[in-house]
Chain A
């Protein structure tokens, strides 16, 4: 099997144009969770440097696409926001704006976003403010130095990222703020924190608190700090947020309207984890140790999301249930198409766009045929076209025999198509006990329906035989009794 596998990878790598990094997935086996080879899902198709883009990029920090497909790149070094046409030709530069009649400039802007009315929000990190600009570069509103009791006296407003959602709220990530995001109204007044960690006191905490004096318990940490590094809106209006702190259990979150984490962490391997790399060195010579540390996140129209890890320069893609779909990207200096210091990621038109602040490049990751097949399979799955989906998932299995999810999804398609025995076969391969049990229950019921006549008939025959035998016995005994008398 190993030979077949390596042959398969060899075949795939020779078929693809670029194979610059190892593509892998995790699979749960008897020996624990192992990383197994997988076909390339995305390959760096084009790399746009200063030459190709027509502007001298300094330190690109954020990017986004508007509804017309224009690309906005926020450059912290050039203190400007560049706008490119859908063909990635430079259209204009926003480096100064009309602030109440005076011309004003940015200083190290590090985050941008667009709202429903196409107004541009800029997190002006150097000047400690968030600016809302109209398309003709007029300042509509400026958030500066928010005041509230909850913020405390020592609070310094250092906005790094900004987001405006569909309900006209503005979210700001401020540096060194452990309570979560800052939430503002459309007019710029501070509403409160959003997406903070909630602390639930366990039984031991309560016992401790009962023993401790007032003074001691007041010194206890009142909350577990969380510092989000970046966020983005998905199609349904939820906020995907990532944190960089490595010991947090949930580095990737999906926040609802009230700031609660609603990310589904139900991958089919039962691990209940969405954490990027599952196995990694804790110590090593390379210096890169420990879990993934995320700097940006983006989602596509199918509900899949892509989290960017700047520690190893990898992008992890998950589906809505938290199953790892693919890993791509690499960290190395000098090689075209790899990261040195990745800063932002964005999905547009099936491709993944990523920025690197160190090389000042825009890398466009283009999907391979393997990935587009998977996306088509998912689409068919959501449209309940299970026959088509099954065919596509089976095609994926033939490309990647170690892909647990493909077996599971193909199994589910078979289940919905009523081919329970084949579905059970697939479920068994990936140790999906519950799904297997569901299929077998359906199969049992079918068999029972089919064979019910025979079962009922044989039961009736048994009952009849029992009655006849007992009658005959009684008669014989009667004869015997009469004879003896």
Chain B
């Protein structure tokens, strides 16, 4: 975990060191991911009424967890698949850890904004949005730098693989949707056969 905070302050060297010494551990990443889920739930529940559009909507923890975990997993799988083809030096573990580490700024801001939201009024919503924006930008920069370091890419190739990663993520989502809808069709088909048989025999 100490490494995570070191990387937060020195993203380029930190990521390179992690790769060189192979010091990353899956447990670190999973712990950060769990904290990220907790932070996003905290952000949803503790935000002041004025800035909270889901104030009256009951909390669904699984849905909230999926909102954090699914994008991370989608990016990891897609990026790993793409970079393996494009001579990337990072393993799946590296990509996963980079993703998790880059969530750290997001976590901190998600913990801070609810407290701030109780002090601000609707006229000052701009500041809250600005802080949210800043957290996304920081996370984005961390992710970019980290992925670049673990795969040992130049900036141009990095951008190209990121583009293809996005495309890959879209394809994965499409295939999953197709798969599940087909599965559903198959299920209903099997059920109707069963009904037909049970009614006739």
Are A and B interaction partners?
yes
Binding site for B on A (CB under 8 A): 30, 428, 431, 433-434, 436-438, 440-441, 444
Minimal beta-carbon separation of B125 from chain A (angstroms): 9
Q: What residues of chain A lie closer than 8 Å to B123, measured between beta carbons? A: 437, 441
Q: List the A residue with the shortest CB-CB distance to B49.
A: A428
Q: What residues of chain B lie closer than 8 Å to A434, measured between beta carbons? A: 122
**Contact residues, B130-159 vs A (CB, 8 A):** none
Q: What residues of chain A lie closer than 8 Å to B198, measured between beta carbons? A: none
The answer, among A30, A428, A431, A441, for a CB contact under 8 Å with B121, is A441
A440 to B125, CA, bound (A): 14
The answer, among A30, A436, A440, A444, for a CB contact under 8 Å with B57, is A30
B50 touching A440, Cβ below 8 Å: yes
Question: How many A-B contacts at CB < 8 Å in the complex?
Answer: 24
A438 to B49, CA, bound (A): 13
The answer, among A30, A433, A441, A444, for a CB contact under 8 Å with B49, is A433
A253 to B102, CA, bound (A): 56
Q: What residues of chain A lie closer than 8 Å to B119, measured between beta carbons? A: 444
Q: List the B residue with the shortest CB-CB distance to A434.
A: B122
- Best-buried of A30, A433, A438 by chain B (most CB within 10 Å): A433
B56 touching A30, Cβ below 8 Å: yes
A440 touching B56, Cβ below 8 Å: no
A436 touching B56, Cβ below 8 Å: no
Q: What residues of chain A lie closer than 8 Å to B56, measured between beta carbons? A: 30, 431
A437 touching B57, Cβ below 8 Å: no
Minimal beta-carbon separation of A430 from chain B (angstroms): 11
B57 touching A438, Cβ below 8 Å: no
Q: List the A residue with the shortest CB-CB distance to B119.
A: A444
Q: What residues of chain B lie closer than 8 Å to A444, measured between beta carbons? A: 119, 121
A436 to B55, CA, bound (A): 14
Q: List the A residue with the shortest CB-CB distance to B52.
A: A433
Q: List the A residue with the shortest CB-CB distance to B50.
A: A437
A433 touching B122, Cβ below 8 Å: yes
A436 to B48, CA, bound (A): 11
Minimal beta-carbon separation of A141 from chain B (angstroms): 56
Instruction: Give a binary string over B49-87; 1 marks a CB under 8 Å from any A CB, 0 the rest.
Output: 110000111000000000000000000000000000000
Q: What residues of chain B lie closer than 8 Å to A440, measured between beta carbons? A: 48, 50, 121
Q: What residues of chain B lie closer than 8 Å to A433, measured between beta carbons? A: 49-50, 122
Chain B, interface residues (CB within 8 Å), range: 10 to 19
Q: What residues of chain A lie closer than 8 Å to B121, measured between beta carbons? A: 437-438, 440-441, 444
Q: What residues of chain A lie closer than 8 Å to B49, measured between beta carbons? A: 428, 433, 436
Instruction: Give a binary string over B24-64; 1 marks a CB under 8 Å from any A CB, 0 the rest.
Output: 00000000000000000000000011100001110000000
Q: List the A residue with the shortest CB-CB distance to B51.
A: A433
A434 to B121, CA, bound (A): 9
A433 to B50, CA, bound (A): 5
- Best-buried of B49, B56, B119 by chain A (most CB within 10 Å): B49
Q: List the B residue with the shortest CB-CB distance to A442.
A: B121
Q: What residues of chain A lie closer than 8 Å to B50, measured between beta carbons? A: 433, 436-437, 440
A30 to B55, CA, bound (A): 10
Q: List the B residue with the shortest CB-CB distance to A424.
A: B49
Q: List the B residue with the shortest CB-CB distance to A439.
A: B121
A434 to B48, CA, bound (A): 13
A317 to B82, CA, bound (A): 64
- Subset of 6 A-B contacts with CB under 8 Å: A30-B56, A433-B49, A437-B123, A438-B122, A440-B121, A441-B123
**Shortest beta-carbon contacts, A-B, top 6:** A437-B122, A441-B121, A437-B121, A437-B50, A30-B56, A433-B50
A433 to B123, CA, bound (A): 11
Q: What residues of chain A lie closer than 8 Å to B55, measured between beta carbons? A: 431
Q: What residues of chain A lie closer than 8 Å to B57, measured between beta carbons? A: 30
Q: List the A residue with the shortest CB-CB distance to B122.
A: A437
- Best-buried of B48, B119, B121 by chain A (most CB within 10 Å): B121
Q: What residues of chain B lie closer than 8 Å to A437, measured between beta carbons? A: 50, 121-123
A212 to B49, CA, bound (A): 52
Minimal beta-carbon separation of A434 from chain B (angstroms): 6
Minimal beta-carbon separation of B105 from chain A (angstroms): 28
Q: What residues of chain B lie closer than 8 Å to A441, measured between beta carbons? A: 121, 123
A433 to B119, CA, bound (A): 15
Q: What residues of chain B lie closer than 8 Å to A438, measured between beta carbons? A: 121-122
Minimal beta-carbon separation of A365 from chain B (angstroms): 36
A431 to B121, CA, bound (A): 15
Minimal beta-carbon separation of A313 from chain B (angstroms): 35
Q: List the B residue with the shortest CB-CB distance to A435.
A: B122
A444 to B57, CA, bound (A): 27
Minimal beta-carbon separation of B117 from chain A (angstroms): 11
A440 to B48, CA, bound (A): 11
A437 to B56, CA, bound (A): 17
A437 to B49, CA, bound (A): 9
A438 to B50, CA, bound (A): 10
List 18 additional A-B contacts (Cβ < 8 Å) besides A30-B57, A431-B55, A437-B121.
A30-B56, A431-B56, A433-B49, A433-B50, A433-B122, A434-B122, A436-B49, A436-B50, A437-B50, A437-B123, A438-B121, A438-B122, A440-B48, A440-B121, A441-B121, A441-B123, A444-B119, A444-B121
A440 to B122, CA, bound (A): 10
Minimal beta-carbon separation of A145 from chain B (angstroms): 58
Minimal beta-carbon separation of A428 from chain B (angstroms): 6
A434 to B51, CA, bound (A): 10
**Contact residues, B103-140 vs A (CB, 8 A):** 119, 121-123
A441 to B123, CA, bound (A): 10
Minimal beta-carbon separation of A282 from chain B (angstroms): 28
- Best-buried of B50, B55, B123 by chain A (most CB within 10 Å): B50
Q: What residues of chain B lie closer than 8 Å to A30, measured between beta carbons? A: 56-57
A268 to B181, CA, bound (A): 42
